[in-house]
Amino acid sequence: MSPDRTEAALRLRRARHVVAFTGAGISAESGVPTFRGPQGLWKNYRPEDLANPIAFERDPELVWEWYRWRQSIVQGCEPNAGHRALVDLAGKVARTSLITQNIDGLHERAGSSPVVELHGNIWKTRCTKEGTVRPFQGELRCQCGAWLRPHIVWFGEALDRATLEDAFQAARTCDVLLAVGTSALVAPANMLPLLARSAGGTVIEVNLEPTPLTAQADFFLKGPAGEVLPELVRRAFPS
């Protein structure tokens, strides 16, 4: 392990409150496509055509077709060693907060609880008229007759205020924030590592490549989350 990794592991070991802030990259090794980059979902689909409320108003069936296709991908995927390392970590630190931008539900399936889902969940629907949130059960219309939509935060939509405030508070008060597999491009979620850093917390970034966050992170651990995270947790808490 490089000196950087040793020092990062030491900070993790000393931490009393750790925030794990994850993005699409942590699920990539499970087979869930990321959004941006050469293999990204949005190489083939323009987000502005599908992931926004106007697109849904224009053509709900087309948007649902895209989400049903993505559900079918996620359904065939299993949590990987990166997800599991965060479950292990939670058993070793006094307090952990798992905050994800992912909508795939793989953290829960790995055994993490609670999981703060900033951008919603692909397995939930919301009635466009009544606002009721329910598990997805195949139907696209509510009993009231209105369209159900994926319970996902699209571009231009506000994140749930209380959820976001709790996430900000966790970032402000943590000793270490692990930013894993996110391009750190999408606001307001990308503010979390910066809040942690400006409140005196240590920011450890895990990614295949540098991001706009890298220059501000204390540590940049380059590599796949499914390898870097288990190694980091093992190093911080040797049994």
Residues annotated as part of the active site = 119
Task: Based on the shown chain and the rule CB under 6 A, indicate whether residue 162 belongs to the binding site for ligand BJW.
Answer: no
Tell me: does residue 201 bind ligand BJW (CB under 6 A).
Answer: no
Kindly state the smallest distance separating residue 184's Cβ from ligand BJW, in Å.
6
Contact 203, 219 (CB under 8 A): yes
Residue 157 and residue 150 in contact, taking contact as beta carbons nearer than 8 Å: no
Instruction: Please choose, out of 83-91, 123-131, 162-170, 200-208, the segment that lies near ligand BJW by the rule CB under 6 A.
Output: 200-208
Q: How far is CA 181 from the centre of its chain?
A: 8
Instruction: Give dist(CA 128, CA 126) in Å, integer.
Output: 6
Within residues 36-75, the interface with ligand BJW by CB under 6 A covers: 36-37, 40, 51
Q: Does 193 bind ligand BJW (CB under 6 A)?
A: no
Which residue in the block uniquely carries the two structure tokens 């991001």?
A: 211
Cα gap 82→179, rounded to integer Å: 12
Interface with ligand BJW in residues 131-150 (CB under 6 A): none
Of 132, 103, 99, the closest CA to residue 116 belongs to 99
Site string for ligand BJW, 88-127 (x = CB under 6 A): -------------x-x---------------x--------
Which residue from 151, 211, 213, 230 is in contact with ligand BJW, where contact means CB under 6 A? 211
Order of strands, sheet of 133-135, starting from the edge strand that comes earlier in the sequence: 133-135, 120-127, 148-152
CA angle 108, 221, 112 (to 5 degrees): 10
Q: How far is the CB of 236 from ligand BJW (least distance, A)?
A: 18
| Residues within the interface to ligand BJW (CB under 6 A) | 23-25, 28-29, 34-37, 40, 51, 101, 103, 119, 152-158, 181-183, 185-188, 206-209, 211, 224-225
